[in-house]
Amino acid sequence: MARNSDIITAMAVCHCVVKSNGVLQGNAADITLFEASKWELLPPVSSDESTFGFKPQTIVTPPSEETERIAILKQFPFESFLQRTAVVFKRKGAKNLSVMVKGAPEKIYELCDSLFIPRSFDDTLKFYTNQGYRVLALAGGDLKEDLTPDDVMHNIKREDLETNLELYGLVITQNQTKESTYEAISELDEADIRSLMVTGDNLQTALFVAKDVGIVHENEQIIQVTVYEIPASVNAARHLRISYIDPFEDIELLGKVHHSNCCISRTFSYFEKY
């Protein structure tokens, strides 16, 4: 079972933040989570290579406990199509290398051993995303003892490292909408200019924000569109999966349209092919 310390460690370790001239640089969300952990980023010292068995990229230590050093071996920056960040590291005194991942809960869920997924996972995720919160999942685990740093750097695929993980928990954050956004969206709406939102956030989070700022209005139907491939035995044509959804109800009406050259109207009230 994951401990609070696992979550804090993941916040401190799983990122691509660097310190330059005493200033943290990198993704804003990564910096926020790292600062919340209260840990420190330190440059490696000459003795670290013999201590850990490899030359670390950087060292991470908890507050006031520099003896508990974690050496970062390899970082996998956030990839939008993978929807996650990963890092391989080693704790001082540990035999094994370890891996931690951070990203979209739906993606991290797929990487975890089902034994570590609580029954409340879906309900908890929906509870927060329906309120517009941004939710990240944290997970990790130890790698095989015979896996060497050289293997990680040169021989092992990323996906082979990110398997059978333990889910540590969810991190809930909130991005406050700027007051000027509401006025800007309203002015565009009055001018009959269509507003679109492109985001990598959870669908329910995005929908909450779209409703909050006035991109989606009350009583408008919401359509979820997913492109997928059908088997070659039926000509491998590309299809669109169209789900008419209400984010607060578990009701779906599914349909299919051939080809991918389709668009959705601004009001989401109908689907048209062009």
Confidence label for 229 from pLDDT (cuts 50, 70 and 90): low
**Residue 228's pLDDT is what?**
61
CA distance 32 to 46: 30
Q: 59-62 long-range CB contacts below 8 Å, 24 or more apart?
A: 60/12, 60/13, 60/89, 62/12, 62/38
Confidence label for 231 from pLDDT (cuts 50, 70 and 90): low
Question: In the structure encoding, which two tokens stand for residue 11, read together?
Answer: 């916040």
3-state secondary structure of 49: helix
Beta-bridged to residue 262, according to DSSP, are: 273
Phi, psi of 34 (to 5 degrees): -65, -45
Summarised one tens digit per residue, pLDDT across range 30-72 is 999 999 999 999 998 888 888 999 999 999 999 876 668 899 9
**Residue 65's pLDDT is what?**
64
Confidence label for 2 from pLDDT (cuts 50, 70 and 90): low
Q: What is the pTM of this model?
A: 0.73
* Percentage of the chain lying above the pLDDT 70 cut: 80
**Residue 174's pLDDT is what?**
80
Summarised one tens digit per residue, pLDDT across range 126-183 is 899 888 888 999 999 999 988 999 999 998 899 999 999 999 999 998 877 888 888 8
**Residue 81's pLDDT is what?**
83
Q: Are strands 252-258 and 238-245 parallel, antiparallel or unpaired?
A: antiparallel
How far CA 252 is from CA of 102, 103, 173, 205, in Å, comes to 30, 27, 29, 19
Question: Pick from 202, 250, 248, 241: which is nearest to 223 by CA?
Answer: 241
